[in-house]
């Protein structure tokens, strides 16, 4: 797909438009001039008829309308070509082809999701305006929490203040530890560097002793770096540890804080809305291609009521949140009614396949399709991924 | 110092210190990301098409009015020369023509300015698509989400939020607020049961509507006719029909006859077929039809972009187990609101098994195969080894509390 050809096609349109404009300007100018000439002549001479007759003749010879038409036609051609160029570059002209129309999204739920997104991003006035316009009476429950989060983040980003962040981190220390987050350590390092810069090295060491000792098992290397950096206390920019001063450390800390805060709120680290839209962006091309193929082959598709998508959509790894087991024999996905079962040889099939292989219990053992072991049905164990 | 690489199939997620933090997967190898980006750009037809259609419309409208004016000036001159007017009349008429041309010149310039602004907007959109790069992809996607949200606001007529959002995110060039405002005027009028603006819109876009064989104008006229009948102004209704409905008779005779017969009924009739015609819901049908024609004209989808993307995304993320408890908070489908939306949607089809370890959230593949506890629960080899190392060989299932020894684990073979 080449954006250049789209740009070129549009440039052509713009050029033709300019040409048409200049030509029309010329024509109008010419008409004005001829009329002015005629008026002057009329003042001077007595007989007006030949002047008017010659004026008419001049206008006819110049045929202003035809000239304008010619340019306009060229412009029209360029205008008609442009959408064709878009199609040629494989821009999907209708992305709603794969949309299921019998599914109605509950507007209220969608509005809540959108409002939540706005609050999460810190766009409080937009979110409030939105809820006001929807006429939704219920307030978004997470608003207050996000306000708090943004206050902490703002303090860090705008004023380089670590106080609120440290308070929050220490009060949620246990949960952060459970989530195996290094947020506390990150914040303490930043504070340590601040103290080392503004106060004495001794104060910094005291701080480290008080707050960082508990992280020795997880962040020993970081602590070592920090303590060593005290050797260059006034000259950190020229030391081997100059990267400790990098502003990206603040950004990392802010990012980690946002993620952990959202996690503790029960939200995902990345906004759920943007994750879903990103997943949709990956899924749509596949679905649309499938629809086009079906339409081209004139196959009727009962699109509206299938339980499983008829085409596989491969999402990239970051969308793999839960395990999916596909039985290698039946190609069906495991579910509660059809769980994965492990046979004594270590291979796994889904329950329905195993039932079929053993003819619904008519035979007590069968051969595993992978290794030639005999499998006893009663010894098959249900797996939980 | 240990380097503990996270081998998840990711090439650049090597951490230089053994932090136990769970970080999200880093971007994949650029080439697949690039093709994903290209695919995502291919979905943006609407972004380019809508301002272009607007631009085309302006150009054609300007040209039409200009053509009319020029041809009228030329024919006035011809008329002056052909007929025998007095000199004074000729002078005064010529003078008025000259001033008319001056006005025309001004109008031409203004029209061209408007056209240029619209052309600029078209170009801004193309440039925006061009600016998408693997490097700034998060920001580009962020802007995309904001665009999609503005589109949703505009369709639901939340104009204030749309403006606020576009201004604060700096995407005014990438959204079509004015076009939707134009539509809203017509829709509001229709809701007030006035067809005038809708008919004006049809007249503005006559050629396009004719090309697509639209019968919107016909429907609007029929509705006006019915309203006249409802008000018992039969004579006016018949005159109206003679003037406006007969041109459509050639192509839509059946419908014409069907509606004309309302003359024979009162608006409170009980006859089902004709009662339906008098229903006020017919106006809602008209609104819907207008929206359809409008969207078709501008190359827009009927449904909000948000719904399209959400539907596709939810269905791609949904698995038969999606509604179980105990899933990671990262999954959008763990949230109540997303679950509600996903309920009537099909789940995605997968060709191959993809197993994710409950403990480490990593993929369980040949490098990190799944291991089975005696109670049937499965975790990744790495996570289990880590647990065993920390607890002297003891394994405790995090979901059931079941305790066993590292030696009790069995390897599972998943293809």
pLDDT in tens, B376-397: 888 888 888 888 888 888 888 8
The mean of the pLDDT values for chain A is 83
- SS3 assignment, position A118: helix
Which range is least confidently modeled, A177-191, A302-316, B105-119, B194-208?
Answer: A302-316
CA nearest to A330 within chain B? B351
pLDDT at residue number B6: 43
* Partners of residue A117 in chain B, C-beta under 8 Å: 149
pLDDT tens per residue, range B16-27: 444 444 444 444
List the beta bridge partners of residue A350: A340
% pLDDT > 70, chain A: 96
Instruction: Check whether A299 has a pLDDT greater than 70.
Output: no
Query: Hey, is the C-beta of A136 within 8 angstroms of any chain B C-beta?
Result: no
pLDDT at residue number B24: 43
Residue B290: pLDDT band by 50, 70, 90 thresholds? very high
Query: Hey, is the C-beta of A342 within 8 angstroms of any chain B C-beta?
Result: yes
In degrees and rounded to multiples of 5, residue B24 shows phi and psi of -70, 155
Query: What tokens were used for B71?
Result: 């041809």
Query: Hey, is the C-beta of A217 within 8 angstroms of any chain B C-beta?
Result: no
pLDDT at residue number A252: 87
Residue B153: pLDDT band by 50, 70, 90 thresholds? very high
How far apart, in whole angstroms, are the C-alpha atoms of residue A258 and residue A261?
Answer: 5
% pLDDT > 90, chain A: 3
Instruction: Check whether A11 has a pLDDT greater than 60.
Output: yes
- Provide ipTM, 2 decimals: 0.84
How far apart, in whole angstroms, are the C-alpha atoms of residue B248 and residue B256?
Answer: 8
Mean pLDDT of A260-264: 86
Mean pLDDT of B34-57: 89
Residue A58: pLDDT band by 50, 70, 90 thresholds? confident
Of the ranges A22-26, A137-141, A235-239, B18-22, which is most confident? Answer: A22-26
Mutation target to probe the B interface, by most B beta carbons within 10 A, among A61, A323, A351 is A323
Which range is least confidently modeled, A1-15, A132-146, B231-245?
Answer: A132-146
pLDDT tens per residue, range B339-357: 888 888 888 888 888 888 8
Query: Hey, is the C-beta of A63 within 8 angstroms of any chain B C-beta?
Result: no
pLDDT at residue number A367: 79
Query: What tokens were used for A272?
Result: 């759920």
Instruction: Check whether B286 has a pLDDT greater than 70.
Output: yes
Instruction: Check whether B398 has a pLDDT greater than 50.
Output: yes
Instruction: Check whether B411 has a pLDDT greater than 50.
Output: yes
Number of CB pairs, chain A paired with chain B, less than 8 A apart: 399
How far apart, in whole angstroms, are the C-alpha atoms of residue A114 and residue A274?
Answer: 10
Instruction: Give the one of B126, B321, B415 whose C-beta lies nearest to A335's C-beta.
Output: B321
List the beta bridge partners of residue B377: A384
pLDDT at residue number A302: 62
How far apart, in whole angstroms, are the C-alpha atoms of residue A53 and residue A324?
Answer: 88
Query: Smallest CA–CA separation between B223 and chain A, in Å?
Result: 27
pLDDT at residue number A303: 61
The mean of the pLDDT values for chain B is 83
How far apart, in whole angstroms, are the C-alpha atoms of residue B345 and residue A258?
Answer: 31
pLDDT at residue number B13: 42
The burial of A91, by beta-carbon neighbours within 10 Å (0-12 exposed, 13-18 middle, 19 or more buried), is given as buried
CA nearest to A185 within chain B? B19
How far apart, in whole angstroms, are the C-alpha atoms of residue A313 and residue A284?
Answer: 9
pLDDT at residue number B376: 85
Contact B347 A309 (CB under 8 A): yes
Instruction: Check whether B29 has a pLDDT greater than 60.
Output: no
Instruction: Check whether B326 has a pLDDT greater than 70.
Output: no
Residue B1: pLDDT band by 50, 70, 90 thresholds? very low
Instruction: Give the one of B77, B332, B376 whose C-beta lies nearest to A384's C-beta.
Output: B376
How far apart, in whole angstroms, are the C-alpha atoms of residue B158 and residue B179?
Answer: 14
């Amino acid at each position: 797909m080449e954006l250049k050809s789209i740009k070129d096609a549009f440039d052509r349109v713009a050029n033709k438009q300019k040409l048409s404009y200049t030509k029309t300007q010329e024509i109008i100018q010419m008409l004005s001039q001829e009329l002015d000439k005629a008026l002057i002549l009329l003042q001077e001479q007595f007989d007006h008829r030949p002047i008017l007759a010659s004026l008419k003749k001049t206008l006819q010879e110049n045929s202003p309308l035809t000239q304008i038409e010619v340019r306009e036609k060229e412009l029209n051609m360029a205008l008609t070509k442009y959408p064709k160029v878009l199609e040629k570059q494989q821009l999907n002209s209708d992305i709603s082809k794969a949309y299921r129309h019998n599914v109605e999204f509950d507007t209220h739920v969608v509005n809540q999701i959108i409002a939540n997104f706005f609050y999460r991003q810190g766009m409080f006035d937009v979110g409030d305006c939105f809820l006001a316009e929807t006429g939704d009476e219920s307030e978004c429950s997470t608003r207050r929490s996000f306000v708090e989060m943004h206050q902490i983040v703002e303090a860090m980003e705008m004023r380089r203040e670590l106080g609120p962040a440290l308070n929050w981190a220490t009060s949620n220390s246990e949960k952060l530890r459970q989530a195996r987050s290094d947020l506390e350590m990150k914040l303490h390092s930043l504070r340590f560097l601040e103290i080392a810069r503004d106060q004495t090295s001794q104060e910094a060491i005291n701080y480290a002793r008080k707050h960082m000792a508990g992280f020795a098992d997880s962040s020993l290397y970081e602590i070592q770096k920090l303590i060593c950096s005290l050797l260059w206390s006034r000259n950190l920019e020229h030391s081997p540890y100059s990267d400790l001063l990098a502003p990206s450390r603040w950004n990392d800390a802010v990012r980690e804080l946002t993620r952990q805060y959202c996690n503790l709120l029960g939200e995902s680290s990345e906004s759920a809305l943007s994750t879903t839209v990103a997943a949709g962006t990956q899924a749509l091309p596949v679905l649309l291609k499938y629809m086009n193929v079906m339409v081209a082959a004139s196959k009727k598709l009962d699109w509206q009521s299938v339980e499983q998508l008829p085409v596989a959509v491969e999402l990239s790894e970051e969308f793999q949140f839960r395990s999916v087991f596909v039985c290698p024999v039946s190609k069906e996905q495991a579910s509660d009614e059809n769980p994965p079962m492990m046979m004594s040889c270590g291979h796994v099939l889904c329950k329905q396949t195993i039932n079929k292989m053993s003819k619904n219990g008519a035979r007590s053992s069968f051969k595993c399709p992978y290794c030639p072991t005999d499998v006893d049905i009663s010894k098959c164990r249900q797996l939980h991924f | 110092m240990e380097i503990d690489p996270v081998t998840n199939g990711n090439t650049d997620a090597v951490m230089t210190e053994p932090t136990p933090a769970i970080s999200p997967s880093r971007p994949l190898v650029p080439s697949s990301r690039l093709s994903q980006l290209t695919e995502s750009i291919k979905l943006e037809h609407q972004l380019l098409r809508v301002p272009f259609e607007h631009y085309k419309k302006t150009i054609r409208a300007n040209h039409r009015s200009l053509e009319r004016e020029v041809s009228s000036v030329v024919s006035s001159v011809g008329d002056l020369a052909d007929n025998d007017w007095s000199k004074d009349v000729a002078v005064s008429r010529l003078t008025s023509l000259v001033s008319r041309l001056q006005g025309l010149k001004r109008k031409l310039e203004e029209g061209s300015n408007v056209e240029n602004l619209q052309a600029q907007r078209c170009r801004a959109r193309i440039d925006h698509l061009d600016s998408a790069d693997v490097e700034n992809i998060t920001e580009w996607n962020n802007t995309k989400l904001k665009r999609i949200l503005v589109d949703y606001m505009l369709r639901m007529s939340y104009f204030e939020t749309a403006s606020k959002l576009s201004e604060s995110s700096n995407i005014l060039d990438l959204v079509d607020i004015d076009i939707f405002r134009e539509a809203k005027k017509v829709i509001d009028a229709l809701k007030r049961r006035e067809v005038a603006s809708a008919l004006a819109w049809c007249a503005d876009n006559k050629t396009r509507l004719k090309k697509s064989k639209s019968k919107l104008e016909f429907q609007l006229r029929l509705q006006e006719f019915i309203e006249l009948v409802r008000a018992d102004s039969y004579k006016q209704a018949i005159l109206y029909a003679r003037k406006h409905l007969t041109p459509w008779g050639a192509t839509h005779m059946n419908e014409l006859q069907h509606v004309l017969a309302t003359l024979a009924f009162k608006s409170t009739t009980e006859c089902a077929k004709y009662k339906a015609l008098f229903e006020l819901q017919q106006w809602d049908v008209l609104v819907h039809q207008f929206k359809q024609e409008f969207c078709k004209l501008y190359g827009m989808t009927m449904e909000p972009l948000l719904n399209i993307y959400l539907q596709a995304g939810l269905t791609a993320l949904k698995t038969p187990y999606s509604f179980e408890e105990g899933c990671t908070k990262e999954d959008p489908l763990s949230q109540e609101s997303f679950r509600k939306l996903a309920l009537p949607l099909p789940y995605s089809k997968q060709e191959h098994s993809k197993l994710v370890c409950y403990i480490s959230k990593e993929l369980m593949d040949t490098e990190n195969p799944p291991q089975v506890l005696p109670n049937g629960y499965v975790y990744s080899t790495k996570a289990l080894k880590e647990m065993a190392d920390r607890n002297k060989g003891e394994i405790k299932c995090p979901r059931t509390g079941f305790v066993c020894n590292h030696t009790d684990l069995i390897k599972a073979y998943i293809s």
